[in-house]
Structure formats: structure tokens, C-alpha cells
Amino acid sequence: MTSPLLEVRGACKRFPGVVALDTVSLHVNAGEVLALVGENGAGKSTLMKILAGVYQPDDGQMFLDGQPVKFAGVNDAMAAGISLIHQELNLAENLGAAANIFLGREKLAFGGLLKNAEMAEITREFLTRVGLSADLVHVPVGRLAPGQKQLVEIARALSLKARVIIMDEPTSSLTQRETDRLYEVIDGLRASGVAIIYITHRMAEIKRLADRVTVFRDGKNSGELAKAEITHGAMVRLMVGRDLKHAYPRTENRTKTPVPVLEVRNVRYRGGPVEGVSFKIFGGEIVGMAGLVGAGRTELAEALFGLRPITGGEVLIDGHPIAIHHPKDAVKAGLLMAPEDRRLNGLVLEKSVGFNFSLPNMDLLSRNLLVKTREERTTGLDLIQRLRVKTPSLSQVVGLLSGGNQQKVVLGKWLARKHRVLILDEPTRGVDVGARSEIYALMDQLALEGVAVWMISSDLEEVLGMSDRVLVLHEGKLAGELPRAGLSEQVVMNLATGSKEDLAAK
Ligand SMILES: Nc1ncnc2c1ncn2[C@@H]1O[C@H](COP(=O)(O)OP(=O)(O)OP(=O)(O)O)[C@@H](O)[C@H]1O
Ligand SMILES: [Mg+2]
């Protein structure tokens, strides 16, 4: 029998207070897509960093083509043909795609100095392959959208001619079209014999892509599924260790407030469409806002939260008009927003979990700045338990938590407080399936308490699963409103893409 292209046996890795990996094993064959799944903090990214030479394992062995190998650093792994596309993107923001793609390896690839024109030409080719415009070749990467940055990272991996490409949650910020393009790229790589390790929390992707699934739980192997065995239930059981009762826990027919808690009348804002936007959300309701990435959902929410100047119209909370010029005004009126890019806007990475739990209050209201009350501690510990945040303690630095656990920290805090209106922008991106249903349960609880919950989401399944009503945005404008009874993926997608027929049919 031929040996796997890449194999790791008995890998161990400890960090202060955390056993990230406890004798895990994994292998991937040429021409195979291996999906690696597991709860947030299960050790997926840590093992990938070991394979890519970023970390040294405390114990364990690696084999390439059956031969033992050791990587002292990323350059060793790269030379051996292993390329990692990080979960947290890893590009120099002030440089263009070409400079990023060739950064630090001009000699490695071509045995001498490269002319700029030549680098640009090669870069254009790879940009086109991943579906990006070749014109982006010199645009500073910092100016690109998150999805475009991700594709530049993928272009870089392709240009390395890697034999093993590791993708750590590559589609988390891609649009549907970009995602489809990536799937095609992956199909092509597989056909050409490249081995791919693919990490994701999206079950649908695994069914589409994976030839085999390896599951981690708490730093250990918890099982493996062959292609024919890949089902949602089987993966969840191996990941969480139990069945999840309700994927979408929600109370039917919650009591709605007589007056809308949030009413938006003809609101216009800087960067928005010319016509105003109008809609209402009642207390007790979870309203999903769907639309394509770039439809303007975040911008609208930012305007109402005081992050973007409102240029016309009226905002009413509990029937009273309010003026919003600054997030402070919104918070004072009881409107809060958990932002989409929590790494940028929601977290202080170098501070503790406990500090960040307290953040929604502190930075906005600047009250009790240094007071860490017993209540805060209790809430913090409760959230850690409910959302299964994997952290050694409340005092752990947030930046050291795994990607999904960072998400849980900020989100949990917003959900633990009672407001009038809560805007959740992509609340479950990067969050594992178990914690997802806890987040939904917290949303449902808030709605039961009379809060108006406004959930912006690109995850159609969750929009259909949790919303009492769905608003669809298309090019900044409301393209339609759908009651729960009339919801289907098709109808939402038609509205989101601006299909005229369905607008007429509505
Ligand atoms: N540099 C570090 N210092 C301390 N702890 C760390 C460090 N890197 C990772 N950890 C911890 O190791 C564990 C595994 O983290 P890892 O990032 O591998 O999880 P993951 O499976 O990728 O999770 P996610 O789905 O959230 O991305 C976590 O408890 C994490 O907090
Ligand atoms: Mg990770």
C-alpha cells in the first residue's frame, strides 16, 4: 500500500494552562480533500500550524511520502510543498497582491531577482485563476474587501505550487459567487493530485467538497467518516459528543409589543441609496435581514447605530423619535449592535476574556470603568459555560483564544444584556454548531423578554431557521418582506438577487 502524502502521528502541543493537542493523528492523500472539523478550540488550527512549520510540536512525528520530516520553520514546510492559508489573514496591508504573493521568496521560486513586470504578469495569472480581477495586481491589499483578501491568500498558495494546501475556514468572508469559484479551484487542484485539508464549520461545504472527514474533540481524535458516512448528524455527534436536540431553538408565537420597538421611517444615510429605507421591528420579534454580501445591510445598521451620518428620515424607539449622531446616542436609547468584524470592532485582543466581556458597557457608556463586580464575574463564568468558550480562565488574554472562541466572547456579552433593540451582524460566523444553538437560544430568550432582535446574516439556513419575519435588502433598498410562513430559500434568494418576477408575485 502506498503511504499517505502527509501524515502526522501522536502530535502533542501544550500552551500555558491549555492542552491544545493530545496525541492526535491525521493523514491526507494526494488528490484528496480531507475536511477537518471540531468545536471551537478543538485544536484544528494548532495542528495546521504544526504542519506548516509555524509551531513545533511537543511530541509526535510527521511523514511526507512515508519519510519522517521535521520543520524548523515555515520555510522548511514551504520547501516541502506545504502551504497554509491562515484563519486570520496574513497579508501585508500596504502592499499590492504581487508584492504579497512574492514577499520573501523571490529567490526561492525563481533563482534570482525578478523584474516587477514579470512578477505582475505571474500574479495576474493567479488572480484570474481564483476569480479576481487582474487589475487588482498593485492595489494595496488593505483596500480590498475581506473576501478579496482571502482570494489573494489562495492565489499565493497556488503560486507556491504546493503539494498540500491547508485552508483554515477559507469561505468565512466570501460571497456566494467567490465561494463557488473557490470550490471550482479546489476541484481542479484535487484533479491535479494536490492534497487539501479543509477546515470549516459549515456542514453544507463538507458535503460538497470532502472525500473524508476527520473530527477533533478537545485536542483529541474523536472519529473519522468516509465519504458515504458524511451526514450532519454523524459529524455533530463526533464533534459535540451528543446529539443536538434543536438546531434552531425558537418559541413559536411570542407576544409582540403593541408599538414597534424600532421604527425606521424613510431613513437615508451617507453612502446609502437615494430613496429612504422604512421598516419596523416589534419587541418579541426576531427579524432576519438577508441579502447578498455587499447589499448594504451592515451600512444600514451602522447608520442606525450612529457610525454613519443619517441624512434624512426618522428613527423611533418605542414610538419616540430619537436623534442618532453617535453610538452613545444609540446606546442611550437602548439600541446596541454586535458588529460583523469583531476582531476589529468588538475585541481588545491584548486584554483578558473578563475585560472583553465587560466591553459593550464600558467603552460605550464609560461607566464603572475599573469596577469588576461580582455580578460581572458570575455572568462571565456563566457565558463561558453556556457557550463552551474554551479558555483556562476569565483572565486569559483574548488574542490567545481560538478564532471561534474569540467570537463567542464578544457575542456572548451582547446577548447577556437586556436592551430594547439588538442588532447582530453575522452572529455565528466561525462559531461551531453546538455554540450556535446556544446563541440562538439566547436570542430567543431576549425576544421573549420583549427585545427587538435584528439579525443580519448571510447564512440562509439560519435566517430561515430563526426569523419570525425576513427583510431582504438589495442594493441598499428593501426588496421585500416575508412572513415566516412564506419563507423558502428560493424566495429569499430571488429577492436578494433582484429577480423582478418574484417582486411582482409578492
Ligand atoms: N498561542 C497560544 N497560546 C495559548 N493558547 C493557545 C495558543 N494558540 C492556541 N491556543 C489554545 O489552544 C486551543 C486550540 O486552539 P485552536 O486555535 O487550535 O482551535 P481551533 O480548533 O482552530 O478552533 P476554532 O474553530 O475556534 O478556530 C484553544 O484552547 C486555544 O485557546
Ligand atoms: Mg481555528
Q: Which ligand is nearest to the CA of 86?
A: 2
Asked whether the beta carbons of 281 and 454 are under 8 A apart, the reply is yes
Cβ of 457: how many Cβ atoms within 10 Å? 24
The closest-lying atom of ligand 1 relative to the alpha carbon of residue 216 is 21
95: Cα separation from own chain's centroid: 24
- Residue 17, classified by CB atoms within 10 Å of its CB into exposed (0-12), middle (13-18) or buried (19+), is exposed
Which helix H or strand E contains 367, and what residues bound it?
A: none
What's the order of all strands across the beta sheet hosting 18-28?
18-28, 6-15, 59-64, 67-69
**What is the three-class DSSP state of 14?**
strand
Q: Which ligand is nearest to the CA of 239?
A: 1
Mutate to test the pocket of ligand 1, among 13, 18, 408 (most ligand atoms within 8 A of CB): 18
What pLDDT is recorded for position 360? 61
Q: Which ligand is nearest to the CA of 430?
A: 1
Rounded distance from Cα 111 to ligand 2 centre (Å): 35
Mutate to test the pocket of ligand 1, among 12, 14, 46, 214 (most ligand atoms within 8 A of CB): 46
User: Considering only CA atoms, which residue is closest to atom 24 of ligand 1?
Assistant: 40
Domain 260-505 in the same topology as domain 6-240: yes
Q: What are the structural domain ranges in the chain? A: 6-240, 260-505
**Measured CA distances, 1 to 66, 147, 231 (Å):** 11, 40, 28
Could you tell me what percentage of the chain is helix, strand and coil, using 3-state DSSP and rounding each to the nearest 5? 40, 25, 35
Rounded distance from Cα 405 to ligand 1 centre (Å): 8
What pLDDT is recorded for position 170? 86
CATH topology assigned to domain 260-505: Rossmann fold (3.40.50)
**What is the three-class DSSP state of 315?**
strand
Residue 249 φ/ψ, nearest 5 degrees: -70, 115
Q: What is the mean pLDDT of each run of 10 residues along the chain (506 residues)?
A: 91 95 98 96 96 96 97 92 84 88 64 72 90 90 83 87 91 79 91 95 91 97 96 91 81 95 96 91 97 85 94 96 92 87 75 81 48 72 86 91 86 78 91 87 92 93 94 91 90 81 44
What's the order of all strands across the beta sheet hosting 310-317?
277-282, 260-269, 310-317, 320-322
Asked whether the beta carbons of 410 and 441 are under 8 A apart, the reply is no
C-alpha to C-alpha distance for 419 and 438, rounded to whole angstroms: 19
Asked whether the beta carbons of 394 and 381 are under 8 A apart, the reply is yes
Rounded distance from Cα 302 to ligand 2 centre (Å): 28
221 forms beta bridges with 216
User: Considering only CA atoms, which residue is closest to atom 2 of ligand 1?
Assistant: 400
What pLDDT is recorded for position 503? 44
Rounded distance from Cα 393 to ligand 2 centre (Å): 19
Residue 442 φ/ψ, nearest 5 degrees: -65, -40
The residue length of the chain stands at: 506
C-alpha to C-alpha distance for 178 and 9, rounded to whole angstroms: 35
C-alpha to C-alpha distance for 502 and 58, rounded to whole angstroms: 58
Rounded distance from Cα 404 to ligand 2 centre (Å): 7
Mutate to test the pocket of ligand 1, among 8, 14, 40, 45 (most ligand atoms within 8 A of CB): 45
User: Considering only CA atoms, which residue is closest to atom 16 of ligand 1?
Assistant: 43
User: Considering only CA atoms, which residue is closest to atom 29 of ligand 1?
Assistant: 41
What residue type is assigned to position 461 of the chain?
E
399: Cα separation from own chain's centroid: 16
User: Considering only CA atoms, which residue is closest to atom 1 of ligand 1?
Assistant: 400
Rounded distance from Cα 264 to ligand 2 centre (Å): 38
| Cα pseudo-dihedral 381, 382, 387, 391, rounded to 10 | 10
The closest-lying atom of ligand 1 relative to the alpha carbon of residue 43 is 18
What pLDDT is recorded for position 239? 92
> What protein residues have CB closer than 5 angstroms to ion ligand 2?
45, 87, 402-403
The closest-lying atom of ligand 1 relative to the alpha carbon of residue 219 is 14
Which residue in 45, 44, 42, 47 sits closest to 58, CA to CA?
47
Cβ of 212: how many Cβ atoms within 10 Å? 18
List residues near ligand 1 (CB under 6 A).
15, 18, 20, 38, 40-46, 87, 390, 400-405
Cβ of 56: how many Cβ atoms within 10 Å? 12
Which residue in 475, 471, 480, 497 sits closest to 273, CA to CA?
475
**What is the three-class DSSP state of 316?**
strand
Which residue in 36, 122, 488, 446 sits closest to 290, CA to CA?
488
Rounded distance from Cα 402 to ligand 2 centre (Å): 5
Q: Which long-range contacts (CB under 8 A, 24 or more apart) does 234-240 make?
A: 235/37, 235/203, 235/206, 236/433, 236/434, 239/37, 239/38, 239/39, 239/42, 239/215, 239/432, 239/433, 239/434, 240/39, 240/433, 240/434
Q: Which ligand is nearest to the CA of 407?
A: 1
C-alpha to C-alpha distance for 370 and 390, rounded to whole angstroms: 25
Q: Kindly report the CA angle at 467 between 465 and 472, in degrees rounded to 5? A: 110
CATH topology assigned to domain 6-240: Rossmann fold (3.40.50)
**What is the three-class DSSP state of 48?**
helix
Q: Which long-range contacts (CB under 8 A, 24 or more apart) does 49-52 make?
A: 49/84, 50/8, 50/11, 50/13, 50/21, 51/6, 51/8, 51/77, 51/82, 51/84, 51/164, 51/166, 51/197, 52/77, 52/82, 52/83, 52/84, 52/166
What pLDDT is recorded for position 307? 92
The closest-lying atom of ligand 1 relative to the alpha carbon of residue 390 is 29
The closest-lying atom of ligand 1 relative to the alpha carbon of residue 201 is 25
Residue 197 φ/ψ, nearest 5 degrees: -105, 125
What residue type is assigned to position 225 of the chain?
L
User: Considering only CA atoms, which residue is closest to atom 3 of ligand 1?
Assistant: 400
Rounded distance from Cα 45 to ligand 1 centre (Å): 7
User: Considering only CA atoms, which residue is closest to atom 12 of ligand 1?
Assistant: 20
